[in-house]
């Protein structure tokens, strides 16, 4: 029987079969050994499940993944796949509390680009600022690049229809700093979901992690949404330095004008990207993000 992994906790996997039935399954021995060596079965994985006569069920096989979201190991931890077969990555920020940081947004967008995912951005908590605040610059920037951008509020209901349009088909994942309102937005588009919402620490206006295990949430409107803890430090591990520039769609029109093939756009003469930067046709912060990520790729 075929199904999708919707959740995992302590070696038990919740599998929703294509028939709609939900099973609690364990891993077959071989898969268990692979799981220990780091290639885990994760939410979103398409699996083959076999049920025994005693009613137990076992995941026998994992299908090849269409996409994966990889979280970089920090402090010597190895990189981990946190979700498989996600179609759309929704990068969530809040207009304030916490303030949006472009470097983090760009990093998350690169994760999506590198994994060939569709991308969108949400700026939540629009109820807390007046229109035309600093955040508008980021909204305009990302729209110019071509990403869908939704200005939303889980409190006022602003933008929730647009968010539904994004989430109500396929499999998506919300990523962004803790406290920006990811759980609140999901609760708002599906009343009754009752995801736990974190309190903001007064000192830094940041949230505490309230989500401990990863799971896929089926929305009544049809989509599946991945709820995963600890996405704030998702890294761009696995992206080769020379592939990074491909993850910046705003650079694309200018790469043709580079004199050298394989131009890194950092120090070569007659570089189309540098020229566009000088003409303000590439935004400075975007180029800074690119430079930082290249440096990280070189150092690692
Ligand atoms: N004013 C306002 N507060 C919000 C909004 N969305 C979430 N919050 C608050 O922000 C905090 C963190 O929300 P939560 O959904 O737990 O964020 P998550 O960590 O990204 O899932 C909570 O105190 C929410 O009540 C919003 O649109 N407007
Ligand atoms: Mg949350
Ligand atoms: Zn160049």
| CA of residue 177 to ligand 2 center, whole Å | 9
Residues 48 and 128 in one domain: no
Testing ligand 1's pocket by substitution, the residue of 177, 198, 204, 206 carrying the most ligand atoms inside 8 A of its CB is 198
Domain at 270, CATH number: 1.10.40.50
Distance from the alpha carbon of residue 228 to the mean position of ligand 2, in angstroms: 8
Instruction: Specify whether 148 is located in the same domain as 264.
Output: no
CA of 189 to the centre of ligand 2 (A): 14
What is the DSSP secondary-structure string of 173-203?
EEE--TTSSHHHHHHHHSTT-----PPBPTT
Residues 212 and 264 in one domain: no
Smallest-distance ligand from the CA of 256? 3
Distance CA 21, CA 177 (A): 34
pLDDT score, position 211: 47
First CA to last CA distance, the chain = 41
With beta carbons less than 8 A apart as the criterion, state whether 122 and 152 touch: yes
Residue 194 C-alpha to ligand 2 middle, in angstroms?
Answer: 11
For β-strands 57-62 and 149-151, DSSP reports them as unpaired
For residue 233, tell me if it sits in a domain.
no
Calculate the alpha carbon distances from 6 to 16, 48, 212, 263 in Å.
6, 14, 14, 43
**Domain total in the chain:** 3
Q: Is 100 left (phi over 0), alpha (psi -120 to 50) or beta?
A: beta
At 137, which CATH number? 3.40.50.300
Residue 235 maps to a domain: no
Q: Which residue's CA lies nearest to atom 8 of ligand 1?
A: 181
Pocket of ligand 1 (CB under 6 A): 124-125, 127-128, 153-155, 178-184, 197-200, 207, 210
User: Same domain for 161 and 37?
Assistant: no
What's the domain range around 145? 68-227
State the pLDDT at residue 280.
97
Give the separation between CA 148 and CA 244, rounded to whole angstroms: 21
Please state, in angstroms and rounded to a whole number, the distance separating the CA atoms of residues 86 and 274: 34
- Is residue 232 in some structural domain? no
Among 196, 227, 258, give the residue marking a domain's end. Answer: 227
Statement to judge: residues 80 and 219 lie in one domain: yes
6 alpha carbon – ligand 1 mean position (Å): 24
What pTM value is reported for the model? 0.89
CATH number assigned to the domain comprising residue 30: 2.40.50.140
Shortest-distance Cα residue to atom 17 of ligand 1: 181
User: SS3 for 291?
Assistant: helix
Domain membership flag for residue 200: yes
Q: What angle do CA 169, 96, 227 make, to 5 degrees?
A: 35
Minimal CA–CA distance to 48: which of 32, 27, 69, 29? 27
Which atom of ligand 1 approaches the CA of 184 most closely?
A: 15
Atom nearest to 153 CA in ligand 1: 27
Residues 133 and 207 in one domain: yes
Among 44, 62, 80, where does a domain finish?
62
Same domain for 93 and 213, yes or no, is yes
Report how far ligand 2's centroid is from the alpha carbon of 107 (Å): 20
Are 76 and 208 contained in the same domain?
Answer: yes
Closest CA to 251 of 275, 270, 226, 222: 275
* pLDDT, position 10: 80
The reply to whether 58 and 80 lie within a common domain is no
Looking at residue 193, its pLDDT comes to 87
Are residues 31 and 100 both part of a single domain?
no
Ligand 1 centre to CA of 228 (Å) is: 16
Pocket test for ligand 1, best of 128, 176, 178, 179 (most atoms within 8 A of CB): 179
Determine, yes or no, domain membership for 236: no
Query: Ligand 1 pocket: which of 154, 162, 205, 215 to mutate (most atoms <8 Å of CB)?
Result: 154
Nearest-angstrom CA–CA distance, 259 and 47: 48
Residues 158 and 200 in one domain: yes
The protein residue with its alpha carbon nearest to ligand 1, atom 9, reads 181
Query: Are 208 and 201 a contacting pair, CB within 8 Å?
Result: yes
E-state strands within the chain: 2-9, 12-17, 22-27, 46-51, 57-62, 68-71, 80-84, 88-94, 118-124, 149-151, 171-175, 215-218, 224-227
- Could you tell me if residue 57 is inside a domain? yes
Q: Is residue 133 part of a domain?
A: yes
Of 11, 43, 62, the residue at which a domain comes to its end is 62
pLDDT tens, the chain, 300 aa long: 999 999 988 889 999 999 999 999 999 988 887 776 666 899 999 999 999 999 899 999 999 998 888 776 555 567 778 889 999 999 999 999 999 999 999 988 998 898 889 999 999 999 998 866 768 999 999 999 999 999 999 999 999 999 999 999 999 999 888 899 998 999 999 988 888 887 654 544 444 444 456 789 999 999 999 876 655 445 555 677 888 999 999 999 999 999 999 999 999 999 999 999 999 999 999 999 999 999 988 776
Among the atoms of ligand 1, which is closest to the Cα of residue 177? 20
- Please indicate, yes or no, whether residues 73 and 52 belong to a single structural domain of this protein: no
Q: Distance between CA atoms of 179 and 40, rounded to whole angstroms?
A: 28
């Amino acid at each position: 029987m075929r199904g999708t992994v919707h959740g995992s906790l302590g070696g038990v996997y919740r599998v929703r079969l294509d028939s709609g039935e939900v099973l609690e399954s364990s891993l077959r021995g071989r898969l268990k050994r692979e799981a220990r060596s780091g290639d885990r079965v994760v939410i979103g994985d398409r699996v083959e499940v076999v049920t025994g006569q005693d009613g137990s069920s076992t995941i026998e096989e994992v299908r090849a993944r269409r996409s994966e979201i990889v979280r970089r190991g920090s402090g010597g931890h190895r990189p981990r796949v946190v979700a498989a077969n996600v179609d759309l990555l929704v990068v969530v920020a809040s207009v304030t509390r916490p303030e949006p940081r472009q470097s983090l947004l760009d990093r998350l967008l690169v994760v999506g680009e590198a994994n060939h995912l569709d991308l969108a951005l949400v700026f939540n908590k629009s109820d807390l600022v007046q229109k035309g605040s600093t955040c508008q610059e980021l909204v305009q920037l990302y729209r110019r690049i071509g990403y869908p951008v939704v200005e939303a509020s889980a409190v006022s209901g602003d933008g929730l229809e647009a968010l539904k349009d994004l989430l109500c088909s396929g499999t998506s994942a919300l990523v962004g700093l803790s406290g920006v309102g990811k759980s609140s937005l999901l609760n708002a588009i599906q009343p009754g979901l009752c995801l736990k919402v974190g309190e903001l620490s007064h000192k830094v206006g940041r949230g505490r992690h309230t989500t401990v295990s990863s799971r896929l949430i089926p929305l009544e409107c049809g989509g599946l949404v991945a709820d995963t803890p600890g996405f704030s430090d998702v890294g761009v591990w696995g992206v080769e330095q020379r592939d990074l520039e491909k993850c910046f769609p705003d650079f694309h029109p200018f790469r043709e004008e580079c004199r050298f093939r394989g131009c890194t756009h950092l120090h070569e003469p007659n570089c189309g990207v540098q020229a566009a930067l000088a003409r303000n046709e590439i935004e400075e912060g975007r180029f800074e993000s690119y430079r930082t990520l290249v440096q990280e790729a070189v150092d690692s």
